[in-house]
Amino acid sequence: MSDLLQSLLLALLFLCGTGILIGSSRRWMTGLLALQYVEVFLFVSISWPLEIAVVKLVAGWMASAVLFLTYQNMIEAEPESRFAANPSGTAFKGFAALLVGLSVYSLVPLALRWFLGATSQQVLGGLWLLGLGLLQLVLSRDSLRIIIGLLTVLSGFEILYATLEASVLMTGLLAILNIGFAFLGAYLLIASNLEESP
Amino acid sequence: MSTPLIWILLPMLAAGTSLFFLRYRYILRWSGLGFGLILVVSGLVLPINEVFKFLFWEVKLSEQLLIFGRRFILSGADRPIVILLFSLWLFWLFIMDPKLVPTQFIPLSLAGICLILTAYSVEPIFYGALFFAFLALIYVVLLSPPGKEPTPGVLRFLIFQILGMLFILFAAWLASWIDLNSGNQVMLARSLLILALGFSFLLSIFPFISWISMVSERNHPFLSGYIFNTYFLGVFLFGTRFILEGGWIGQGLDIQLPFQLAGVIMLSSGGLIAIFSKHLGRLMGAVIIAEIGRSLLAISLFQAGFPIYFGMVILQSISLGVWSISLTQLQQGIHDLDFQSAVGAARLWPVITSGLLLGYFTLAGVPLLGGFPIYWALGSGLSFYPLWINSIFVLSTLGLVYGGLRLLGVLTKNGGEESILILAAPFYRYLILGLNVLLVLIGFLPQLIFRITRTISDLLLGS
């Protein structure tokens, strides 16, 4: 993949990650998450054969679909399911994302010494997702946002780890973990509405 | 046929199947007890790598299972771990009150035990970190039963465990890189630091301890007790194997001091929280934090510390078990677990509160109870190390005892209330009394526990 294409992909990845962080609509968040997995797949495919890298895309889309379908069904029961939109909060999150972006960018030369087989865009993309995911985890108490934050962190890790090792079992387990997160998120969303146990 | 198939896949299948029968809670519990007993007995008697006759067939049980080029090994030397884990499950299932504990406890707890065994048995061992992530997912579901909102503590638990997994995987990769560049001390130090961070997340070592208090305060006491008991045991088993198999000890590194430092920080945190706690759940959290510290101190003694560590595991299970069922039953009589609500509870429900007090004081290390000889042995082992470690060990134990005395004061205070409400079915009242007697008996006959735990550690370290 050419440098220019990778850089474009990187910009899109940062926009997706930031969009997920500051977005207030669950539908948009899931849509951006699905798009983010396309970029993760493309970054992973630089290091891995396409047929193994596609596992990331399939697992990611399945995870996004599970989350989307869950609150799609919930919306029928509860029409208003948007997160409270707060302009100052959104601005703060956007600014924090920018700071994370800049600090991660300054770390890239150092990180490249650790990830020897990786391109600078791969490293930057992976670290950005890790940073933005962590930011999501730190700033939110909502279970859905936490699950999406964890999925983002895991995506960043997968990009970086793909440059280090290509194990079929590891790929499979990480894919199952992604889907497991989505099912857990779905369960946590509906758990309080389920029939109470003792 | 192989041991991972019998002790991991088969129970996992049983756990998955039983999810479809959640409405039959009594049948599920009794069949679970039977199945657990079979698993424990199989761990005791099944010959490994030898041909034996089973009904009409001649069977040879191999010790490994190969999946995608990775091996899962449960050899004869791992028997004590298999027996210990399934015995713990059996114990918690036995003391569970199906009327007060969500039924999904049965399948999910069994699946959790299988995942701990998977993490323990996989080779290369760093893959185990991934299975702990799956375990965290299962335990989050277990701690968020239907009809209840997930608590912030549970979500924090999930975050910390996943971050821990990522750090361990990365550290393991770095460590494998060092093999190619042997002698690179900078890289070794980096990978050790990342590994330490990973295990700090997994073991909730300071400053990552907050979720323990949060979960123990807001979640079901029985479920919290079970998870504290098995999760930390699993992480310690995994960590021990990780260190032994990864050759981290043989690299000429001093990992004893970091273990002891982390141990005293945890122990003193537990002691401090116990002094200031005004909530029965948080008090359990304090004791758990202190227990993690003691476990780290025991493991820092290496060969001499392993029998002490396993003794602590057995004792912790009984004490936490009796504490958890007592608290679960007590919750029926008081509206929340604040000290204010529990005033005078010992006058109304003496048997149930005796379970709370004995369970707590045993873990605090009060003389004549089961914990005392084990913590005494730990203190004796630590006496060869700097004075500050020993001083903090003693002071923190005093902090825990002080917390217990405050609890005793609250429970026995005259609240001016009279209640004719009888809590707990007779079986559970007798069970609490029986476990109390057992805790006292261990205090008088600690050699029985030490004989078992020495065998366990000899078998494990011999492997």
- Confirm if B203 and B190 have CB atoms less than 8 A apart: no
Nearest to B134 among A137, A180, A192 (CB): A180
Asked whether B102 and B146 are in contact (CB, 8 A), the reply is yes
Q: Give B45 to chain A, closest Cα distance, Å.
A: 32
Q: Note the ipTM here.
A: 0.91
Rounded mean pLDDT of A60-86? 74
Using alpha carbons only, give the angle B156, B277, B204 rounded to the nearest 5 degrees: 30
Per-position b or e across B137-156, b if 16+ CB within 10 A of its CB: bbbbbbbbbbebebbbbbbb
Q: Tell me the per-residue pLDDT of B68-110, one tens digit each, with 9 for 90 and over.
A: 778 898 888 888 899 999 999 999 999 998 888 998 999 999 9
B346 has a pLDDT exceeding 90: no
User: What pLDDT is stored for residue B302 in this prediction?
Assistant: 81
pTM of the model: 0.91
CA atoms in the 13 A half-sphere facing the CB of A56: 32
Distance between A198 CA and the closest CA of chain B, angstroms: 5
CB-based contacts of B64, cutoff 8 Å, min separation 6: B2, B3, B4, B71, B72, B73, B74
Q: Which residues pair with B2 in a beta bridge?
A: B62
Determine the pLDDT at residue A110: 84
Highest average pLDDT, of B194-198, B286-290, B366-370, comes from B286-290
- pLDDT tens for B383-406 read 888 899 999 999 999 999 999 999
- Per-residue model confidence (pLDDT) at position A152: 93
Residue B393 to residue B151: CA distance in whole angstroms: 32
Q: To which residue do tokens 């800049």 refer?
A: A102
Q: Quick check: A153 and B148 CB within 8 A? A: no
**Residue B124: closest CA among B27, B247, B233:** B247
CA gap A144, B155 in Å, rounded: 10
Give chain A positions within 8 Å (CB) of B127: 169-170, 173
For residue B98, what is the nearest residue in chain A, using CA coordinates? A198
| B19 touching chain A per CB within 8 A | no
The answer on pLDDT for A77 being more than 60 is no
Specify the pLDDT at position B251. 58
Compare all CA atoms of chain B with the CA of A161 and give the residue at the minimum distance: B170
Nearest CA in chain A to B149: A192
Cβ B145–A141 below 8 Å, yes or no?
no
* Single-letter amino acid code for the residue at A61: W
Best residue in A47, A110, A143 to probe B by mutation, most B CBs within 10 Å?
A143
Strand partners, B123: B71
Q: Does B56 touch chain A (CB under 8 A)?
A: no
Q: CB B155 to CB A143 under 8 A?
A: yes
* Long-range contacts, stretch B182-187, CB < 8 angstroms, 24+ apart: none
Is A49's Cβ below 8 Å from some Cβ in B?
Answer: no
